[in-house]
């Protein structure tokens, strides 16, 4: 049921190719609730239980769009329902707030910069942020910079995690127009909100 409530390429604005769609009963390497790399180092302790709170089952869809300049644009949307969604959202929101305006560089020289996106609300509660991942200067002619946005939202007993990112060589990466990005978030959110209403009539 959850898988059917995730957007299809015919519903998405623009030209997208679907690379994966699945409902899963057990999470594997392809189905973490949210990739731990999205969090800044400051919240390692706070976020360590998020995968457990997400539970085992859910659904996801992945899509890719080719931009005119040849740079990839990728979207991943995951949703699940269980008794822990409020706790999951509580900890994820707190982590995003702690990471706001943090810039960190790991041992390999990769730099991450985080910023919460204000005044974009959906569902019963939500939070969105932008993350810029920049490779070390010595590898910037080979490795791409990523500008991504993540939205975590709760619709009743359903959690949505939507990640959308653009990649290009450092200095040439441009994020999707914010209103266009939010149109996709709203499209996904309205479908899951409708599903939650159907389940809890």
What residue segments make up the domains of the chain, in order of their start?
18-199
The CATH fold assigned to 18-199 is Protein Transport Mog1p; Chain A (3.40.1000)
Q: What is the pLDDT of residue 66?
A: 74
Strand order in the sheet with 72-81: 17-24, 58-66, 72-81, 158-168, 145-155, 125-134, 111-117, 103-105
Q: Which residue has the higher pLDDT, 69 or 89?
A: 89
CA distance linking residue 135 with residue 158, whole number of Å: 35
**How many residues comprise the chain?**
201
Q: What is the pLDDT of residue 199?
A: 53
Q: What is the pTM for the complete model shown?
A: 0.93
Q: What is the pLDDT of residue 72?
A: 85
In b/e form, how buried is each residue of 51-85, taking b as 16+ CB within 10 angstroms? bebbbeebbbbbbebeeeeebebbbbbbbbbbebb
CA distance linking residue 112 with residue 106, whole number of Å: 8
Q: What is the pLDDT of residue 198?
A: 61
Q: Which residue has the higher pLDDT, 175 or 85?
A: 85
Q: What is the pLDDT of residue 201?
A: 47
CA distance linking residue 18 with residue 31, whole number of Å: 16
> Residues 76-112: pLDDT tens digits?
999 999 999 999 999 999 999 999 999 999 999 999 9
> Residues 153-168: pLDDT tens digits?
999 999 999 999 999 8
pLDDT band at 35 (very low <50, low <70, confident <90, very high): confident
Among 10-19, 67-76, 134-143, 179-188, which is the least confidently predicted range?
Answer: 67-76
Q: What is the pLDDT of residue 172?
A: 85
Phi and psi at residue 171, to the nearest 5°: 95, -15
Q: What is the pLDDT of residue 168?
A: 87
pLDDT band at 70 (very low <50, low <70, confident <90, very high): low
Q: Is 159 exposed, middle or buried (0-12, 13-18, 19+ CB in 10 A)?
A: buried
- Give 158's Cβ-side CA count (13 Å radius): 29
Closest CA to 114 of 97, 91, 139, 126: 97
């Amino acid at each position: 049921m959850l898988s059917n409530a995730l957007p299809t390429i015919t519903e998405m604005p623009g030209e997208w190719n679907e690379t994966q769609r699945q409902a899963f009963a057990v999470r594997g390497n392809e189905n973490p609730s949210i990739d731990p790399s999205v969090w800044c180092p400051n919240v390692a302790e706070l976020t360590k239980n998020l995968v457990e709170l997400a539970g085992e089952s859910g659904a996801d869809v992945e899509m890719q769009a080719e931009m005119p300049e040849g740079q990839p644009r990728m979207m991943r949307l995951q949703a699940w329902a269980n008794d822990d969604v409020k706790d999951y959202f509580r900890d994820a929101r707190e982590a995003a707030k702690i990471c706001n305006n943090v810039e960190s560089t790991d041992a390999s020289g990769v730099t991450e910069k985080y910023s919460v996106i204000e005044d974009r609300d959906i569902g019963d509660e939500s939070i969105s942020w932008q993350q810029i991942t920049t490779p070390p200067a010595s590898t910037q002619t080979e490795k791409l910079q990523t500008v991504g946005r993540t939205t975590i939202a709760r619709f009743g007993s359903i959690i949505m995690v939507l990640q959308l990112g653009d990649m290009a060589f450092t200095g040439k990466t441009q994020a999707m127009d914010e209103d266009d990005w939010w149109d996709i978030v709203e499209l996904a959110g309205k479908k899951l909100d409708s599903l939650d209403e159907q389940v809890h009539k």
